[in-house]
């Protein structure tokens, strides 16, 4: 095999490993999360999580930039620019899944943060939490010969 073929084969193995690591740690592996509401985008909106076959919201009691940082990272949306209340993206409907969320900011998923338990809350949809993230995370892959 030529030296060029060996380099290409090594690069393909590297790309396969990167792809595996990115997809293996994706949020789809656990509880799903999304950003929704009026004027929302993939990286900004009202925080909703899918638990027990139902989409629901998160209360903004104790909601801060550490919590938003975890959501943005979990969605692959870069860093958190700010938090948002329900008045910004509109109120959700139905289930309120989480309240009193307290993240350190280093968690991989919002559900790893401290909270009062799924479905346990003293909230209404007037207090739905939201985030504005910096944008989609991009990955650069460098080739070395």
Q: Judge whether residue 23 has pLDDT over 70.
A: no
Q: Which of 121, 138, 126, 134 is nearest to 46 (CA)?
A: 126
Res. 25 pLDDT band, cuts 50 70 90: very low
Q: Which fold has domain 31-133?
A: Mac-2 Binding Protein (3.10.250)
Beta bridge partners of 55: 50
pLDDT tens per residue, range 74-112:
999 999 999 987 778 999 999 999 999 999 999 999 999
Domain-wise residue ranges, the chain = 1-29, 31-133
Q: Are 111 and 117 in contact (CB under 8 A)?
A: no
State mean pLDDT over 27-54: 86
């Amino acid at each position: 095999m030529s030296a060029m073929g060996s380099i290409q084969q090594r690069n393909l193995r590297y790309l396969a490993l990167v792809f595996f690591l990115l997809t293996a740690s994706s949020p789809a592996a656990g509880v799903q999360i999304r950003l929704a509401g009026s004027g929302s985008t993939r990286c900004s909106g009202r925080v909703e999580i899918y638990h027990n076959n139902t989409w629901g919201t998160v209360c903004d009691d104790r909601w801060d930039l550490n919590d938003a940082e975890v959501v943005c990272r979990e969605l692959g949306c870069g860093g958190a620019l700010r938090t948002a209340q329900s008045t910004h993206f509109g109120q959700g409907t139905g289930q309120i899944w989480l309240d009193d969320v307290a993240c350190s900011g280093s968690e991989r998923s919002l559900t790893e943060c401290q909270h009062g338990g799924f479905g346990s809350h003293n909230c209404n949809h007037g207090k739905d939490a939201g985030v504005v993230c910096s944008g989609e995370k991009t990955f650069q892959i460098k080739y070395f010969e």
